[in-house]
Chains A and B, each alone.
Chain A
């Protein structure tokens, strides 16, 4: 041991300390970056003194994977819930005010008033107006649903584009990591970037990852389709220009394998894409089918009947009139076709007394044979039919034999049931994703106070080393003095 070796140790210490300070300063600078993982300097003692061996990046694979899963689940659930919220407003209105159920309630009341004073034409016109409201609610509901499906289709296309972009970026980040690992340089920044991209990708599709030699990462979706291996696999989707009832949209293909849509209110959809596909084809499809069934129920309830004559469309009519739709069978898009019978509609030159007396389909259907102006039997019968059970198609997802007015209320109940599940699940999944992000951040994030206390230590070390340098210098000086 000599003074010169003391000098070189102090020198190396100064170097190590500055390196550590640089890392501390980097940690503090990125303290609020959620994608940044804390760097740790490992100081290894060597024979002539101490030197900083390498910089390590704090990681926790298990928490990271949990966080990815929670992110996917939340993204899927919130896509579903947000969509349901929009649909609720667009189809049923605030407090269900513009729903078919509310309109049918108004129609029943108007019918009751008209049945009490059947000779009063104004009350008859009021019934036609109430019926028009029902028709508008069904037509507008159909339009809103199909427009919503078209919009969702567009969102899927956008999301697919973004996902492809992310995968391309992921390739660059992965290449940087692999080449850095091979050449043995510090790849921490590239790893940060790659993890950040992975989190973003997980919001679109659920992912699982495998790390191979040289930190090369392979991404597959949760069901095993390869998303990225050395190069990104293509995610393809063909959007449609418009939607009509009963038409299914195109699937999203990942590496030519179709992506499964989510099911249920507490959806099993992982990622935004599966949630959007579920909205486009699942929930909206059932909702549309229910509106179609309500329309069919109304046409059937108001059908004109006569002995030895086939039942014919009355107050409500459709493109297949005068026949009425087959019982218990779903007719796709009927809610968009339903119209007021122009023969009864005063604003279309019709005669409202045909509603009271029957005969919109010819004299054979005339029920009021004596021609009395206060004939109410038919009107009362229509009111009764709205409350009589009839068969509904099981394809629309509601108990099959209820009255059309109860069915319209059940349709809202069905939708709100799904929405409630989706809302509760969205809360839970959001909490889980926040919690896992927090746990991950606690494991791999920066605590500024810790870094500052480290800085204090480093300061002391630096001061001491500097002091040693001056002391050795003085000793050497006094030695030189003696020699001189």
Chain B
């Protein structure tokens, strides 16, 4: 006898090696069955791990933007609501001025309707949501509109100063009874208008910036998502209400001048209603854009989830089968080892 086909050490070592390999595989298969993902993503995917990481990160980002879009949406719907209220106030003023311009309204009622419009204008524009003033542009930590009716209001002082400069007396002076309709009309066009549509607006009325808040509403899409108080509808409503409030509180101003002011206020309030309507539809467009973006991203989220599952998912049935197979293999191997151990010549030698 010179050669042996197999050595005793080789038999037991081979058994031991295959045992340990199978047990390693069993641990992996069990983990895969429990989690539904491959046991070690890096080892399973190699360089393609980049894809799985990028997908997972984009998924998180999309979810983050969907969340932040909820914030933008709430801001926009509050804006929409406030714009509706502003339109209501403009319409109320419009109704009152229609009567006042024909001279059928007492001064006090006309003045109060102007004051009411002014106050609701101020209150609505100074609405804050989440600690941010809705209509302030980007300057959201400052109230966007100064109260005209408050004591020491610079806007009122400017209006009074303009009156004094034009006519040489204040509107409460007895001489004001001589102001003609043409004078008044001229005064409104040349002196009052610039206070609202010129530099006077930013100086006395508004603290809002013309710059609007910009938000990212999708991975690659940004848009302006706020309405500022510096728009024509607001300015027209403020001018109409301020004129009515100011001129109708004077007992000496000629009634023909008051009627002129009322009719100018009437046309301004009318324009304000249509301007505000336009602003509302702008806000509506943005709302639509945001909700579209959110819908789109939700679809993407589903798609990304599916991709991630495709890349690193494991068929749980397949994993379960693998666990069963391995367990029966290991059992067979144990049984074989025991049998082979018995299979020794020693047992037959006496």
> Could you say which residues of chain B place their CB within 8 Å of the CB of A368?
138
Question: Does B338 reach chain A (CB closer than 8 Å)?
Answer: no
| Known contacts A34-B9, A453-B345; is-contact A119 B14 (Cβ 8 Å) | no
Question: Does B226 reach chain A (CB closer than 8 Å)?
Answer: yes
Contact across chains for A445 and B57 when beta carbons are under 8 A apart? no
Bound-state Cα–Cα, A375 to B139, Å: 8
| Known contacts A412-B53, A447-B7; is-contact A375 B211 (Cβ 8 Å) | yes
Residue in B14, B42, B44, B141 whose Cβ sees the most chain A Cβ within 10 Å: B42
Question: Does A448 reach chain B (CB closer than 8 Å)?
Answer: yes
When each residue 211-243 of chain B gets 1 if its CB lies under 8 Å from chain A and 0 otherwise, what string results? 101111000001000100000000000000000
> Could you say which residues of chain B place their CB within 8 Å of the CB of A442?
4-7, 10
Query: How near does chain B come to A98, taking the closest CB pair, in angstroms?
Result: 13
> Could you say which residues of chain A place their CB within 8 Å of the CB of B53?
96, 101, 409, 412-413
Contact across chains for B139 and A450 when beta carbons are under 8 A apart? no
Question: Does A393 reach chain B (CB closer than 8 Å)?
Answer: no
Contact across chains for A372 and B345 when beta carbons are under 8 A apart? no
| Known contacts A31-B9, A371-B139, A438-B13; is-contact A419 B1 (Cβ 8 Å) | no
When each residue 132-155 of chain B gets 1 if its CB lies under 8 Å from chain A and 0 otherwise, what string results? 100011111110000000000000
Residue in A34, A375, A456 whose Cβ sees the most chain B Cβ within 10 Å: A375
Question: Does B177 reach chain A (CB closer than 8 Å)?
Answer: no
Contact across chains for A412 and B49 when beta carbons are under 8 A apart? yes
Closest 6 CB pairs of A and B: A372-B138, A445-B7, A413-B50, A417-B47, A420-B46, A416-B42
Contact across chains for B9 and A374 when beta carbons are under 8 A apart? no
Question: Does A380 reach chain B (CB closer than 8 Å)?
Answer: yes
**Can you list 24 contacts pairing A with B, beta carbon distance less than 8 Å?**
A33-B9, A38-B4, A104-B57, A109-B64, A112-B216, A113-B67, A115-B68, A117-B132, A372-B136, A374-B137, A374-B139, A374-B213, A409-B53, A409-B54, A416-B47, A416-B49, A417-B49, A420-B45, A421-B46, A446-B4, A446-B9, A448-B346, A452-B346, A454-B1
Chain A residues touching B, majority SS: helix
Contact across chains for A438 and B64 when beta carbons are under 8 A apart? no
> Could you say which residues of chain A place their CB within 8 Å of the CB of B216?
112, 115-116, 380, 383
Residue in A105, A370, A446 whose Cβ sees the most chain B Cβ within 10 Å: A105
Question: Does A423 reach chain B (CB closer than 8 Å)?
Answer: yes
Query: How near does chain B come to A108, taking the closest CB pair, in angstroms?
Result: 6
Contact across chains for A373 and B141 when beta carbons are under 8 A apart? yes
Query: How near does chain A come to B83, taking the closest CB pair, in angstroms?
Result: 18
Question: Does B327 reach chain A (CB closer than 8 Å)?
Answer: no
Question: Does A437 reach chain B (CB closer than 8 Å)?
Answer: yes
Bound-state Cα–Cα, A450 to B130, Å: 89
Bound-state Cα–Cα, A96 to B40, Å: 11
Q: Which residue on B lies nearest to A88, using beta carbons?
A: B42
> Could you say which residues of chain A place their CB within 8 Å of the CB of B159?
none
When each residue 53-84 of chain B gets 1 if its CB lies under 8 Å from chain A and 0 otherwise, what string results? 11011001100110110011000000000000
**Could you tell me which residues of chain B, from 1 to 49, have a CB within 8 Å of some CB in chain A?**
1-10, 12-14, 17, 41-49
When each residue 111-149 of chain B gets 1 if its CB lies under 8 Å from chain A and 0 otherwise, what string results? 000000000000000000011100011111110000000
Question: Does A323 reach chain B (CB closer than 8 Å)?
Answer: no
Query: How near does chain A come to B65, taking the closest CB pair, in angstroms?
Result: 6
Contact across chains for B215 and A438 when beta carbons are under 8 A apart? no
Bound-state Cα–Cα, A135 to B105, Å: 71
Bound-state Cα–Cα, A443 to B6, Å: 7
Bound-state Cα–Cα, A65 to B5, Å: 20
Question: Does B209 reach chain A (CB closer than 8 Å)?
Answer: yes
Contact of A108 among B1, B14, B61 (CB under 8 A): B61
Question: Does A400 reach chain B (CB closer than 8 Å)?
Answer: no
Contact across chains for A376 and B213 when beta carbons are under 8 A apart? yes
Contact of B12 among A32, A109, A116, A419 (CB under 8 A): A32
Bound-state Cα–Cα, A38 to B44, Å: 44
Q: Which residue on A lies nearest to B67, using beta carbons?
A: A113
Contact across chains for B42 and A447 when beta carbons are under 8 A apart? no
> Could you say which residues of chain B place their CB within 8 Å of the CB of A376?
138, 213-215
Question: Does A464 reach chain B (CB closer than 8 Å)?
Answer: no
**Could you tell me which residues of chain A, from 170 to 191, have a CB within 8 Å of some CB in chain B?**
none
Query: How near does chain A come to B316, taking the closest CB pair, in angstroms?
Result: 19
Contact across chains for B61 and A437 when beta carbons are under 8 A apart? no
| Known contacts A116-B71, A380-B222; is-contact A447 B8 (Cβ 8 Å) | yes
Question: Does A434 reach chain B (CB closer than 8 Å)?
Answer: yes
When each residue 142-176 of chain B gets 1 if its CB lies under 8 Å from chain A and 0 otherwise, what string results? 10000000000000000000000000000000000
Bound-state Cα–Cα, A315 to B322, Å: 51
> Could you say which residues of chain B place their CB within 8 Å of the CB of A108?
57, 61, 64
Contact of A109 among B7, B60, B136, B211 (CB under 8 A): B60
Query: How near does chain B come to A404, taking the closest CB pair, in angstroms?
Result: 12
Contact across chains for A370 and B42 when beta carbons are under 8 A apart? no
Bound-state Cα–Cα, A368 to B346, Å: 93
